[in-house]
Amino acid sequence: MMELNLDHIVDEIIKRLQKEKEDDGVLVEASGRHVHLSKEYVDLLFGKGYELTKKRDLSQPGQYLCEEKVTVIGPKGTIHNVSVLGPVRKESQVELSKTDAVSIGVNAPVKMSGNIENSGTVIIATPLSVVKLQNGVIVAKRHIHITPEDSMRYGVMNNEEVSIKINGERGVIFTNVTVRVSDKFSTVVHLDYDEANACGFTKGMRASILK
């Protein structure tokens, strides 16, 4: 009887710990300035047939940081050592914070990644080549990558706009956060560095979803 009671207590403790973990909210990540390149732009910037070199995996399955860096040049300034993310995409895209964009004199609208219509223009350079990206500079709209299972648990749908609450010394509520649901995602909130600085971001920080 004692052994059965002990097993029951252990089971209840495990269930409570799991629930507490679930209720902690969604992991938050700060996404720095970076570039996505098409195969055409990889060839232009690094040489015909060049393959990007994976440095380490990122939180989203199949996405990775590359060893390669580029320079992004605007009318009023230059940003060196901008990270390239892989794999290659259909279209090239530069993602900056608003602070970055202002510093180099580029008009970068706030858009979801992949939506580059009517976006900014920059020059992208490597030691080998210099090319002009006529359309493709954006400030990434804050968003949540979320699995279908977690979307059901949190009661959110694909493309829904929600708010998130981040506690701490510089606690803040961010509105207009887009939900992106896919079985190819892992669940995480993505903020840019301006937003991360505003909320006093630290690694491992979590956010509550507000409906």
- The CATH number of whichever domain residue 147 belongs to comes to 2.40.40.20
**pLDDT above 90: percentage of residues in the chain:** 87
Among candidate residues 86, 120, 140, the one where a domain is terminated: 140
103-119: average pLDDT: 95
**pLDDT above 70: percentage of residues in the chain:** 89
204-211: average pLDDT: 94
Q: pLDDT higher for 96 or 20?
A: 96
Contacts of 64 (CB under 8 A, 6+ apart): 54, 55, 56, 57, 58, 85, 86, 87
- Same domain assignment for residues 43 and 79: yes
48-70: average pLDDT: 97
Q: Residue 211: which pLDDT band, with cuts at 50, 70 and 90?
A: confident
pLDDT tens sequence across 113-147: 999 999 999 999 999 999 999 999 999 999 999 99
| Total structural domains within the chain | 2
- Same domain assignment for residues 136 and 146: no
For residue 187, what are its two tokens? 């669940």
- Same domain assignment for residues 150 and 135: no
| Whole-structure pTM value | 0.85
Instruction: Give 57's Cβ-side CA count (13 Å radius).
Output: 5
The letter for the amino acid at 121 is T
Task: Decide if pLDDT at 21 tops 90.
Answer: no
